[in-house]
A and B are shown apart, each in its own frame.
Chain A
Amino acid sequence: METNTQRLLHTFAALADLGQEIADNADFEEMLRASFHLLLGSLAIRRGAVAEYDRERGQLRIVAMRGLTESGQTELPLAHDHARRLASMGSALSFEDATNEAERFLDDHKVFFGSVEIELLVPLVVRERLIGVVLLGEKASGEKFGGDNLEIICSLARHIAVGIHSHHLLEEVERKADENRRLYDGLRTIYKETVHAFAAAIDIKDRYTNGHSVRVGKYSEIIAREMGWNDEEVEGITIAGYLHDIGKLIVDLSVINSPERFNAKESKEMSRHPAAGYEILARINHPYAEIPLMARYHHERIDGNGYPDGLKGDQIPPGAKIVTVADSFDAMTTDRPYRKRLPLADVFVDFRENTGTQFAPEVICAFCRAFLREIEGTSKEKRLMKLLGRNYKNVEVVGPLLSQLISDLDGGAMAATATTH
């Protein structure tokens, strides 16, 4: 094969291998080392180095090197103005007919290079910014670098520059992504803390139902998890529970804290709170889209006799059905000014009587299952027991009632009733 043809083939193969290294090698430093070897091997250059430029620290960091120095030094200072001038040169600078920039570079690093002869300095430039440099010593052939050699070197160097630049861009993207993740986590924390603060504000307004919003949130969470909702959905329903009564903030304090059952006028005033809650919550861009609807519909009933919109059955969002059960359970198990809390058995009898009319059967069933597991000890946590507090003892007496209710609901008897309404 003719020498020139073989030389061309060898160079093309180096260029192809370089492209593959840059595209495929996930290890940046390994990619640079391989690229450096390809550059040296393409023209059999005996010594050299490739360094990336750290703009912030104003220095070159040598990533791969052969035969340049024994000093072990891997960092070379490079002033910003010098870096700018090198970037503006753009092509290989020969020390043979030394340019000012090349001479200055050698002068600045006399100790590093010692007696080693450097023949070429190739600035690695992308978008007019210095990315790094390639330093090259003599060829094995002893010949000087010719014009075609410089073309090959500059072409390979451009690929290496793009490889370094791409790596830096990727690092920047990853850094920004990390920063965004941290900001997002921070915002979520603020959001949750704000929700808790609102829940506390709602409960403070109603002195008879202290802690109600937080408990409804927790009951809703337990029910949703029992129904197989995923973590994100469970988090959403928990927050919906915390905020379901936020509309009470616009209800007159004297109505909320009335020591007696509401009269017609007070009932009307009180019944404004779901729609008002929706109006308040709809203005907020929640991570969980259905929260305003859960607040609006937590007094709807399966039979359509609820308020504010009189929705029926599946017209009511599943989340609202859960909050309804959680809200009613807490209302029945806490003291009110006009009545004492109900015995637990009475609560579940109420559930049984109103499943399919007021309550969704699948929600009651899930709640009973979760409760029964705590009673039977098959659930590690006793979250429901803790929420009920010391006021309820011997809760295991409702076990048979729960079993029967679950059996009826699973059997579909009550579910069938629900669909007829």
Chain B
Amino acid sequence: METTESESVRSRRVGDTAVIYAGDYLNKLSGERVERECKRQLESGCRALVISFRDTELVNSIGVSILMGVIDAAQQSGARLIFSDVDDHTANLFEMLGLTRHVTVVTDEEEALASLAPQTRVTEPRAVATGS
């Protein structure tokens, strides 16, 4: 089903890994979309999730809470979770709140995929937009 950008969260699948792109402001609305997409990917057999914050300028408290929900979901599925492209401000926030104890934070998506290399076989290199 075709979806508009505002109603979807962008993601792509790289082997057993899903890369999910958080929007510019991770709040209730966009956070719930990210959470739904992460859960959908885990249910479809993903063994690792990379959440890219390359477009993200702000994460509010609801966003933090939702990310903790994603951490729980990944842990329960036995999947790895990596945050990439986190700007300094958000990185400090994650550090201060203790999220970094439960998730690996790397510089960029490339580093994230490289760190997951043994698990990552590039079978679907195309970018897809998925409905919320």
Cα–Cα distance between A36 and B92 once the two chains are bound (Å): 23
Stretch at the interface among B2-10, B56-64, B113-121: B56-64
Q: Which residue of B lies closest to A33 (CB)?
A: B28
Judge whether B98 is part of the interface by a CB distance below 8 angstroms: yes
Q: Given A10-B93, A34-B62, are A44 and B98 also a contact pair (CB < 8 Å)?
A: yes
Judge whether A139 is part of the interface by a CB distance below 8 angstroms: yes
Judge whether B97 is part of the interface by a CB distance below 8 angstroms: yes
Partner of A3, one of B62, B96, B101: B96
Q: Which residue of A lies closest to B102 (CB)?
A: A140
Cα–Cα distance between A142 and B97 once the two chains are bound (Å): 10
Q: Which B residues touch A143, using CB under 8 A? A: 98
Q: Given A44-B64, A44-B68, are A34 and B28 also a contact pair (CB < 8 Å)?
A: yes
Judge whether A6 is part of the interface by a CB distance below 8 angstroms: yes
Q: Which A residues touch B101, using CB under 8 A? A: 140-142
Q: Which A residues touch B60, using CB under 8 A? A: 13-14, 17, 41
Taking a contact as CB atoms under 8 Å apart, the answer to whether B68 and A140 are in contact is yes
Interface residues on B, range: 20 to 34
Judge whether B78 is part of the interface by a CB distance below 8 angstroms: no
Contact with B along A30-52 (1 / 0, CB 8 A): 00001011111111111000000
Cα–Cα distance between A45 and B92 once the two chains are bound (Å): 17
Cα–Cα distance between A288 and B44 once the two chains are bound (Å): 69
Partner of A38, one of B61, B72, B93: B61
Q: Which B residues touch A142, using CB under 8 A? A: 98, 101
Q: Which A residues touch B40, using CB under 8 A? A: none
Q: Which residue of B lies closest to A138 (CB)?
A: B98
Judge whether A67 is part of the interface by a CB distance below 8 angstroms: yes
Q: Which A residues touch B71, using CB under 8 A? A: 140
Q: Which A residues touch B89, using CB under 8 A? A: 1, 6
Taking a contact as CB atoms under 8 Å apart, the answer to whether B72 and A43 are in contact is no
Tell me the minimal C-beta distance from A418 to chain B in angstroms.
Answer: 69
Q: Given A37-B66, A140-B68, A141-B101, are A6 and B96 also a contact pair (CB < 8 Å)?
A: yes
Q: Given A3-B92, A140-B99, are A46 and B72 also a contact pair (CB < 8 Å)?
A: yes
Judge whether B104 is part of the interface by a CB distance below 8 angstroms: no
Q: Which residue of B lies closest to A38 (CB)?
A: B61
Partner of A66, one of B28, B62, B64, B72: B72
Tell me the minimal C-beta distance from B72 to chain A in angstroms.
Answer: 6
Q: Which A residues touch B72, using CB under 8 A? A: 46, 66-67
Partner of B61, one of A3, A10, A66, A140: A10
Q: Which residue of A lies closest to B97 (CB)?
A: A44
Q: Which residue of B lies closest to A43 (CB)?
A: B97
Q: Given A1-B89, A1-B92, A67-B72, are A41 and B64 also a contact pair (CB < 8 Å)?
A: yes
Tell me the minimal C-beta distance from A44 to chain B in angstroms.
Answer: 4
Q: Which B residues touch A10, using CB under 8 A? A: 61, 93, 96-97
Q: Given A1-B89, A3-B92, A37-B28, are A141 and B65 also a contact pair (CB < 8 Å)?
A: no
Q: Given A44-B68, A46-B72, are A37 and B97 also a contact pair (CB < 8 Å)?
A: no
Judge whether B69 is part of the interface by a CB distance below 8 angstroms: yes
Q: Which B residues touch A66, using CB under 8 A? A: 65, 68-69, 72
Cα–Cα distance between A67 and B60 once the two chains are bound (Å): 21
Cα–Cα distance between A40 and B72 once the two chains are bound (Å): 14
Task: Name which of B63, B69, B93, B98 has the most chain A CB atoms within 10 A of its CB.
Answer: B98
Q: Given A6-B93, A66-B72, are A41 and B98 also a contact pair (CB < 8 Å)?
A: no
Cα–Cα distance between A56 and B73 once the two chains are bound (Å): 37
Taking a contact as CB atoms under 8 Å apart, the answer to whether B68 and A141 are in contact is no
Contact with B along A134-156 (1 / 0, CB 8 A): 00000111110000000000000
Within 8 A of A (CB), among B60-117: 60-66, 68-69, 71-72, 89, 92-93, 96-99, 101-102
Leading 4 A-B pairs by shortest Cβ distance: A141-B98, A41-B61, A41-B65, A44-B97
Q: Can you name 24 A-B residue pairings with CB atoms under 8 Å?
A: A1-B89, A3-B92, A6-B93, A7-B96, A14-B60, A17-B61, A34-B28, A38-B61, A38-B62, A38-B65, A39-B61, A40-B64, A41-B64, A41-B65, A41-B66, A42-B61, A43-B97, A44-B98, A46-B68, A66-B68, A67-B72, A140-B98, A140-B99, A141-B97
Beyond contacts A40-B65, A140-B71: 11 other A-B pairs, Cβ-Cβ < 8 A, are A10-B96, A13-B60, A13-B61, A40-B61, A41-B61, A42-B61, A44-B68, A46-B72, A140-B68, A140-B101, A140-B102
